[in-house]
Amino acid sequence: MRLLSSALITLLALTKLSFASSSSVLVVLDPSLDREDYSIFFGGLEERGYNLTFRAPKDASPAITDYGVPNYDHVILFAPDTKSYAQDITPQSLVGLLSENTNLLIALSPKQTLLTSLAAEFSLILPPPETPLISHHPARSEPPTTIPVSVSSSPILTSGIPPIWFTGASHALGSTPMLVPILRAPAESFAADPTSDADSDALVTASEKGGEGLWAGSQMGLVTGFQTNVNSRVVFAGGVKMFSDEYARKELPSGGPSGNALFVTDVAAWVFQEKMKLRIDAVDHHRVGESGAPEMYTTNDEIVYTAHISAYDSQTSTWKPYSGIDDLQLEFTMLDPHIRTSLPPVPGSPGTYQVQFRAPDRHGVFKFVLNWKRKGYSYLESSTTVPVVPPRHDQYPRFLSAAWPYYTGAISTSVGFFLFSALWLAGDVKGERKKGSKAE
């Protein structure tokens, strides 16, 4: 029975690998939301090659996973107000999807839901329920909860995106370095009950508390990403309406078009790993003057280390050499780094990074370690273990230049002893001959 179950799971996994591509997306859409109201966003995904499958939060099929194997490479959760889900959608199962390299795009709301507790697992701190983001600036005809937000420059986003319309909840960012801020709240905005936000005493009281008591200003996030140790990604958006056709076509108070369509396209491209996705193709090391990696190095050897890095090009769906990293470092460690040096790109050789250094004068088991982690980019990690041994008995130099004073002392002492002995012996023999002649 166990053998049959194992064979079934293996067959299912192979089936998923053969039919599911990196463009399969499951969209969990709340029944209160009309798919046609988000046609620009969903249509853009389909034009870029994504296969979208829709289901309601409480539907049991299509399942997100079967026997622990994800059925989709990406999941979109547009059910911000839903409080109950099917059995396959829980905070634990969603975290498990990330460990299986499935990416998540999640829309939140001011209401307390299952997704609110999930956001706390990723070091996002949400304000009290029913306290959306509010701003009375700039002057506009829209309600204070419908806010135009300026887009800051970011490598994730296309430069020059106009302000976007936002309605929803803000959140404070924790201290984990894995968070990737994408959109910040305006400086004049704050989170409060929209029916009583005119009461300035409430905001003053909150500011006096400090910490979590103050939900105001640009320290709050509206759209925030998170990248796991296995390079899967999740994005939490404070509201689902920013993805709607209404906000994509809505004019700004200044009269220009909003940047919602371009903004959500860039956010989806990042979370679905179309951009800023890097990998290490190969690493190699050898002694200077050689080409192959030796079984072991000797102390004070001159070592050449090379890494080949590429970036994913979503336009051609291929990996291309990437030389855009200017702060890559290499560590040669044995418990602690004995050598830490920069690993610069090689001019004229795209995607190649190379450095030459001397092995430390200490033997043991060392590691070549690459550990490059920057916000928004895929993490680059590599570790190669090599032994470093002392020289063999016939590898030491016959004479050491630093020991010449000792060599000179030893030689001069030997020569002096020889001359003294010779003179002493010769002098005694000569004296005996003279005494003998006198006696006669």
103 CB contacts (<8 Å, ≥6 apart)? Answer: 73, 74, 75, 232, 233, 234, 271, 272, 273
The per-residue pLDDT for 197 is 54
List of the chain residues with pLDDT < 70: 1-22, 196-214, 428-440
Taking residue 196's Cβ as centre, other Cβ atoms within 10 Å add up to 8
CA pair distance 80, 71, nearest whole angstrom = 23
Q: What are phi and psi of 179, to 5 degrees?
A: -75, 140
| Cα angle value 34/269/157 (rounded, 5°) | 110
Q: Is 203 helix (H, G, I), strand (E, B) or coil?
A: helix
Residue 321, pLDDT score? 97
Q: What are the residue ranges of helices labelled H in 288-360? A: none
Task: Give CA–CA dist 67/69, Å, rounded.
Answer: 6
Distant-in-sequence, close-in-space partners of 82: CB < 8 Å, separation ≥ 6: 30, 57, 58, 113, 114
pLDDT score of 13: 38
Global pTM reads: 0.83
Predicted local distance difference test score (pLDDT) of residue 369: 98
Q: What pLDDT score does 428 carry?
A: 55
- Identify the pLDDT of residue 158: 95
Please name which of 189, 162, 113, 170 lies closest in space to residue 266, comparing C-alpha atoms.
162
Using an 8 Å Cβ cutoff, are 331 and 340 in contact? Answer: yes
What integer pLDDT is reported at residue 212 of this predicted model?
A: 46
Cα separation, 71 vs 68, in Å, equals 9
- Backbone phi, psi, residue 386, to 5°: -140, 145
Which pLDDT score is estimated for 217?
A: 87
